[in-house]
């Protein structure tokens, strides 16, 4: 019940003069106002910093315990956040004789990703970043790799579904930052095509989609051209 003592709640004001006096009271006691919508809530932390030499306000119409209880109930029922952040990671083994698809673009190389679908490491981690931001199950749970339906599927199908879920939840993409990690081939000649396709799939302006590529300094499977990985972070904004 420690949370019940984390804030003090002043009475609801009824007119401008009582609002002004409430604000003045908060400033006089060097407190930090939290919410002025219906009540004034002030953080208890400044009181403790002043050695508890503080006169507790008289609470006339608001019951702090009830107010805190209400806030706890809201928190438990997943509050609608103005922003949501998500991170995605994916890695695939590279095998000779397979196509290398990155961001929906067929990249010429002597090997490609071993996967149930088309093995698009970038789109997979973008999907997971969006699903993660929405607090939904990951790509492997939504599109199981033992389901014949997804055998050889284009990963754009997964991304379109993630985007649909994002809009259904009332969010739009703020920005996206992705990093591809591979030793070969050099990605710079293909980066713009990948980014353009990603923008189209996401329905986003290129200015909010960033793509970086780096090697793994010839270390481990990534650096030995035996695997490819990608990280993505997305920021979703409430519409």
Binding site for Zn ion (CB under 5 A): 90, 124
For Zn ion, which is the closer residue by CB, 31 or 107?
107
Nearest residue (beta carbon) to Zn ion: 124
Distance (Å, rounded) from C-alpha 226 to C-alpha 143? 25
Instruction: Judge contact between 145 and 200, C-beta under 8 A.
Output: no
Query: Taking the complex as a whole, how short is the minimal distance between the CB of residue 176 and Zn ion, in angstroms?
Result: 17
For Zn ion, which is the closer residue by CB, 42 or 125?
125
Distance (Å, rounded) from C-alpha 39 to C-alpha 147? 54
For Zn ion, which is the closer residue by CB, 9 or 100?
100
Query: Taking the complex as a whole, how short is the minimal distance between the CB of residue 92 and Zn ion, in angstroms?
Result: 5
Query: Taking the complex as a whole, how short is the minimal distance between the CB of residue 161 and Zn ion, in angstroms?
Result: 15
Helical H segments across the chain, by residue range: 16-28, 45-49, 64-76, 121-134, 139-142, 156-168, 191-202, 220-223
Query: Taking the complex as a whole, how short is the minimal distance between the CB of residue 179 and Zn ion, in angstroms?
Result: 15
For Zn ion, which is the closer residue by CB, 40 or 94?
94
Query: Taking the complex as a whole, how short is the minimal distance between the CB of residue 90 and Zn ion, in angstroms?
Result: 4
Phi first, then psi, for residue 170 (nearest 5°) are: 90, 20
For Zn ion, which is the closer residue by CB, 114 or 205?
114
Distance (Å, rounded) from C-alpha 153 to C-alpha 39? 54
Distance (Å, rounded) from C-alpha 92 to C-alpha 229? 6
């Amino acid at each position: 019940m420690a949370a019940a003592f984390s804030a003090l709640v002043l009475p609801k004001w009824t007119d401008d003069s009582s609002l002004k006096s409430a604000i003045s009271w908060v400033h006089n006691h060097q407190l930090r106002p939290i919410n002025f919508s219906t009540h004034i809530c002030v953080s208890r932390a400044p009181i403790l910093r002043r050695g508890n030499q503080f006169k507790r306000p008289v609470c006339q119409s608001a019951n702090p315990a009830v107010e805190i209880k209400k806030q706890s109930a809201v928190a438990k029922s997943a509050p609608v956040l103005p922003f949501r952040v998500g991170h995605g990671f994916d890695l695939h083994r590279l095998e000779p004789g397979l196509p290398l698809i990155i961001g929906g673009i067929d990249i010429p190389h002597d090997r490609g990703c071993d996967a149930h679908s088309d093995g698009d490491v970038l789109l997979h981690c973008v999907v997971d970043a969006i699903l993660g931001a929405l607090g939904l199950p990951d790509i492997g749970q939504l599109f199981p790799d033992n389901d014949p339906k997804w055998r050889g599927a284009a990963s754009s199908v997964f991304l379109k579904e993630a985007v649909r879920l994002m809009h259904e939840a009332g969010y739009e993409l703020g920005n996206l930052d992705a990093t591809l990690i591979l030793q070969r081939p050099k990605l710079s000649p293909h980066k713009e095509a990948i980014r353009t396709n990603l923008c189209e799939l996401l329905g986003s302006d290129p200015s909010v989609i960033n793509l970086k590529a780096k090697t793994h300094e010839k270390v481990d499977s990534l650096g030995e051209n035996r695997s490819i990985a990608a990280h993505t972070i997305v920021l979703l904004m409430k519409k």
